[in-house]
Structure 1
Amino acid sequence: MNQTLLQTLGIKHPLIMAPMFLVSNEPMMLAAIRSGIAGTFPSLNYRKEGELPALLERLNQAKAGHPQGTYGVNLIVQKTNPLYKKHLDACVTAKVPFYITSLGNPRDVIEAAHSYGARVLCDVTNLQHAEKAAQNGADGFIAVCAGAGGHAGPYPMHVLVPALKKAFPDMTVTAAGAIATGQQIASAMVLGADSVSIGTRFIASREATVSDEYKNAIISHGMEDIVLTEKLSGTPCNIINTPAAQKMGYRQSGFEKWLSRNPRTRKYFKMMVQMKGMKKLEKAIKPNHYNQLWSAGQSVEMVDEILSVEEIVQRLMQEYQESVRALR
């Protein structure tokens, strides 16, 4: 275990609760902080005027009372995110402890964060992304591997994590994708990861305010039920293969791909696709809604009950310690 990363983030356990669009919420963040891990959330979960600054103030108060836990904010840094600059300004004002950047150039976030001593971890799916992030001053990588919920990468953890550690020995690497047990955490550590990021397991938590149908889907589906689709956000992402997902489809048409690549149309087309996808997902998390489009990773295979966030963390770390002892 890399103690330096734990000290840098200010956490007891090498675990980040991954940012999940429309799932990550304040009760989950507070429970993560109390549990000695890092809770993170996408800033786009808070789009109403004044919501984000008020939340950050409350999270800072919670962190002050529980110094072994922390929180971070996930920023979508693509130009297609209309709230990016506004949300970044709010985060800097609140002195957010650390950031996770996704889908774009992280340079502005890194400069802003470093101005007051915060850290930035950048989502990467390959060595090329990692090189660009490192050149811009990133403090570490989130290695988004195959099987991750939401925007997944193409490479398995057992290839991407050691490849990143070999190419960037001085950078911290957090393994993300298809991790839901302490044994899998131990596996990531053996590969050289400094910490892990877990999302899907926490959807089936008592603090998550998604519908019971969504939580039960996490429990009842297996790894073979997860499919990769381009239709939801324009970027390949993993969802549960429900009838609604089958109806939506998995691949963009040739014309849609042309619109997403054409210099004159790509920004606006991607923005339109993402907005439509956000609305579909927003409806799908509500109870009894027919449009069951649910983001999840292949680790649904390992999830079989709904627990509190603190119970999940306790079990994960117990399993992790048992796995480490078994290796000795």
Structure 2
Amino acid sequence: MHTDFLHIRYPVIQAPMFLVSNEAMVKAAMDNGIAGTFPSLNFRKEDELKALLKRLNAYRTAPHNPTGTYGVNLIVQKTNPLYIKHLQTCVEAQVPFYITSLGNPRQVIDAAHGYGAKVLCDVTNLQHAEKAAKEGCDGFIAVCAGAGGHAGPYPMHVLVPALQKAFPDKFLVAAGGIATGRQMASALVLGAHAVSIGTRFIASREAGVSDAYKQAILEYGMEDIVLTERLSGTPCNIINTPAAKKIGYKQNWMEKMLSRNPRTRKYFKMLVQLRGMKKLEQAIRPGSYQHLWSAGQSVEMVEDIAPTAAIVQRLIQELEETLEYTRHLSYKA
């Protein structure tokens, strides 16, 4: 398995999830041999990110010797007012690797390569991948249909082999619709070197979200995941709760006009994102009745709330059993 690239024991990235990923989750990921990641925007208060990175670096080199690592997800588009500041903080802390989303990754790549860190870029198609490759990225997160948050339009069984064929020298991570070891095996067989799993870890003991959110991951199914433009301006997957139905899924004509006009686009998108951020932040709090929860179609496969250690152990056991089964089939043939 291709685990040396990120210095992890198992080929799994605990996906960065806005307002969900926290310090406890990342440390548990490191303890269990995978990569824990988080969006820098989860830590927006003054010096909050800097203090967290200091603790994570100390934990990563602690005597108990965790076999995993951590990375930071940066939203690199111009509408993120904290992008440059957060990038500088991450570089000063020498973050092991980065995941970039929604913009040109060049600044992150140059800064990371300055001290030997890796950069993986979220891509949803071959055009995005081509641009990121020209900027010098080390690999891709293939964001496939069914992913939580900003999902791509193409299924894993098309996007992953297409990327592997077009960019055989890049590290390739499959994301979207993965919650079991059998699904991991499928991604690896298709040509991925690792997988990124988010929704499954929302239903973990370490996740600090409300019990109602965790229960929703168990109770809703794949048909309950819908795309909405109303939270960030970019279509993202959420659970189709009554609150989601109330806000709707499509921007109205005025919102579309403002988001397309060159003069208003940047500021309107910032406004939409800020408004959506506040709604999501309210929704994850205990006792909230505004149930706007991001999740992917893999809710269908999540059946319990468990510690990260148990989740990882089950993933790897299922992965090994599935790969052994496929080897057995090939011998028979």
C-alpha distance in 1, partners of 2:7/2:61?
11
Question: Shift of the alpha carbon at 1:251?
Answer: 0.7
Determine the structure 2 residue equivalent to 1:248.
Answer: 247
Question: Shift of the alpha carbon at 1:254?
Answer: 2.1
Question: Shift of the alpha carbon at 1:312?
Answer: 0.4
C-alpha distance in 1, partners of 2:58/2:308?
19
TM-score of the aligned structures, taking structure 2 as reference length: 0.97
C-alpha distance in 1, partners of 2:213/2:83?
28
RMSD of aligned alpha carbons: 0.7
C-alpha distance in 2, partners of 1:199/1:259?
32
Deviations 1:31-64 (A, max 9, x none): 0000010000000000011110110011111111
Counting matched residue pairs gives 325
Within a 5 Å distance, the mapping from 1:197-216 to structure 2 comes to 197-216=196-215
Question: Shift of the alpha carbon at 1:287?
Answer: 1.3
Identity score, percent: 73
3-state DSSP class of the match of 1:7?
coil
Quick check: 1:147 aligned with 2:146? yes
AA aligned to 1:282 is: E
Question: Shift of the alpha carbon at 1:133?
Answer: 0.2
C-alpha distance in 1, partners of 2:259/2:128?
20
2:228–2:250: 8 Å Cα contact kept in structure 1?
yes
Determine the structure 2 residue equivalent to 1:100.
Answer: 99
3-state DSSP class of the match of 2:74?
strand
AA aligned to 1:202 is: F
Deviations 1:58-91 (A, max 9, x none): 1111111335210000000010001001100000
AA aligned to 2:161 is: P
C-alpha distance in 1, partners of 2:130/2:76?
17
AA aligned to 1:11 is: I
3-state DSSP class of the match of 1:9?
coil
Determine the structure 1 residue equivalent to 2:331.
Answer: none
Deviations 1:207-263 (A, max 9, x none): 001000000000001000100111111011000000000000001112211211111
2:32–2:66: 8 Å Cα contact kept in structure 1?
no
AA aligned to 1:138 is: C
Determine the structure 2 residue equivalent to 1:192.
Answer: 191
C-alpha distance in 2, partners of 1:199/1:178?
9
C-alpha distance in 1, partners of 2:46/2:231?
26
Quick check: 1:36 aligned with 2:40? no
Question: Shift of the alpha carbon at 1:92?
Answer: 0.2
C-alpha distance in 2, partners of 1:288/1:232?
21
C-alpha distance in 2, partners of 1:325/1:20?
32
AA aligned to 1:314 is: Q
Deviations 1:102-128 (A, max 9, x none): 000000000000000000000000000
Quick check: 1:133 aligned with 2:132? yes
1:10–1:67: 8 Å Cα contact kept in structure 2?
no
Quick check: 1:17 aligned with 2:9? no
Deviations 1:123-149 (A, max 9, x none): 000000000000000000000000000
TM-score of the aligned structures, taking structure 1 as reference length: 0.98
Determine the structure 1 residue equivalent to 2:175.
Answer: 176
Q: Could you tell me which runs of 5 or more consecutive residues in structure 1 were left unpaired when the two chains were aligned.
A: none
1:121–1:141: 8 Å Cα contact kept in structure 2?
yes
Within a 5 Å distance, the mapping from 1:253-268 to structure 2 comes to 253-268=252-267
3-state DSSP class of the match of 2:61?
helix
Determine the structure 1 residue equivalent to 2:61.
Answer: 64
3-state DSSP class of the match of 1:121?
strand
Q: Could you tell me which runs of 5 or more consecutive residues in structure 2 were left unpaired when the two chains were aligned.
A: 328-333
Determine the structure 1 residue equivalent to 2:238.
Answer: 239
AA aligned to 1:115 is: G
Query: Which segment is superposed worse, 62-71 or 105-114?
Result: 62-71
Determine the structure 2 residue equivalent to 1:49.
Answer: 46
C-alpha distance in 2, partners of 1:17/1:120?
16
Question: Shift of the alpha carbon at 1:169?
Answer: 1.0
C-alpha distance in 2, partners of 1:101/1:253?
29
3-state DSSP class of the match of 2:152?
coil
AA aligned to 1:274 is: Q
**Alpha carbons of 1:202 and 1:104: their partners in 2 closer, same or farther (altered >3 Å)?**
same
C-alpha distance in 1, partners of 2:145/2:264?
30
C-alpha distance in 1, partners of 2:82/2:13?
24
C-alpha distance in 1, partners of 2:179/2:8?
19
AA aligned to 2:139 is: G
Quick check: 1:112 aligned with 2:111? yes
